[in-house]
Structures are given as C-alpha cells and as structure tokens.
Amino acid sequence: MVRKPVILLLAILAIAASLPASAQTVSSALRGATPLNEEGPAAPMTPMRNTAEREIRNYPEQPPVIPHSIDGYQIDINGNKCLSCHARARIAESGAPMVSITHFMDRDGQFLASVSPRRFFCTECHVPQNLITPPVTNDFVDIDTMLSRASPGGRR
C-alpha cells in the first residue's frame, strides 16, 4: 500500500528527467553538432606528414611514429617494404634508422637472426601521422617535465 505512491513518484521523476534530455543536442569536439543517433558527415581526409624528420617519443616505451607517407607499402607474407630501408643490412644505403634490437627477440627473450615474426607487421605499433589540429586538447606531459616541476614533495 505504501509502495504504490513511491512507484508513481519515481515514474513521474523519470519522465521529467527524460524530457529535457531528448530535446537537448549533445555537442562534442569529435562529433560536432550531430545528434547521437545519427551519423555525421565524414571529416575530409588530411595530408600525411611527410617530412622524414624523426619525432621524439613521449615516453620511453612509445613505438616511434612514422614521419613519412607509407601509401602502397606492402607488408605481408611475401615481403615487407619497410624493411627495404629499415632492415639491419639496408640502413647503410638508405640512411634510415634500424629496427630496434628488441624486434629480433622472440616471446621467450631469445634473439633471432632476423626480425621476429611477431614483430613483422610494423603498422601494428608504428603509425604515420596526419597533419590535423586535434579536436580534443591533450595536456599530456612527459616524465622529464613532470619530475622537473618544482612542486612540494616532488623531486627537483
């Protein structure tokens, strides 16, 4: 007997809460003003960064990003275009950085004679960069900056 008005009250509250939400348009930097139940227009494709200048890593374990275009580079069972320049034996001619020695290691930490099969598919970790203004701001600071901040209790 007592529960019935409670249920009624909850139902009214639920309806009242849903009313403004349905009229509201959720806007975000990534989606734009497109309603959540619709698919917005695709953003135009942007040019690829192609300066070939090496970029510093944001943290030690970060796979270095690819500073050049890789359009049409074949990486499959037959061949790996990236290794035409980045392989150990190819860097003298190409001047490209050699694939890291960690890529020669199998999952048990044993070093192989050439790039380990599990590290063969470069673009699983290394990606080229497009020239865009990020729609979402990022306030990431690397560890060196963090440690050098003169904050109470922090390392100087």
Partner 1 sequence: MSTAEPAAPRSSRLARAWRFVLELWDVLLRPSSVFGLGVLVLAGFVAGVIFWGGFNTTLELTNSEKFCTGCHEMRDNVFAELKSTIHFSNRSGVRASCPDCHVPHNWTDKIARKMQASKEVWGHLFGSINSREKFVDHRLELALHEWARFKANDSLECRNCHSAESMDITKQSPRASVAHQRFLFTGEKTCIDCHKGIAHHLPDMRGIPGWQ
- Residues with Cβ within 8 Å of 65's Cβ and at least 6 positions away in sequence, in order, are 55, 126, 127, 128, 129
**Residue number, 14 or 111, with CB nearest to partner 1:** 111
- The least distance separating partner 1 from the CB of residue 129, rounded to whole angstroms, comes to 14
Residue identified by tokens 């959720």 is 26
- The least distance separating partner 1 from the CB of residue 35, rounded to whole angstroms, comes to 34
Binding mask 28-67 for partner 1 (x = CB under 8 A): ----------------------xxxx--------------
Rounded to a whole number of angstroms, the distance between the first and last alpha carbons of the chain is 67
- The least distance separating partner 1 from the CB of residue 132, rounded to whole angstroms, comes to 19
Of 34-42, 55-63, 86-94, 127-135: span binding partner 1 (CB under 8 A): 86-94
- Residues with Cβ within 8 Å of 121's Cβ and at least 6 positions away in sequence, in order, are 75
Long-range contacts of 55-62 (CB under 8 A, 24+ apart): 55/129, 58/140, 58/142, 59/142, 59/143
**Residue number, 31 or 73, with CB nearest to partner 1:** 73
Provide the 10 A C-beta neighbour count for residue 16: 9
Position 11, amino acid: A
Interacting positions 93-152 with partner 1 (CB under 8 A): 94-95, 114-115
- The least distance separating partner 1 from the CB of residue 127, rounded to whole angstroms, comes to 17
Q: Which helix (H) or strand (E) holds 141?
A: none
Of 9-17, 33-41, 84-92, 147-155: span binding partner 1 (CB under 8 A): 84-92
CB 132 within 8 A of CB 46: yes
Chain residues binding partner 1 by CB under 8 A are 50-53, 68-69, 71-72, 74, 77-81, 83-84, 87, 90, 94-95, 114-115
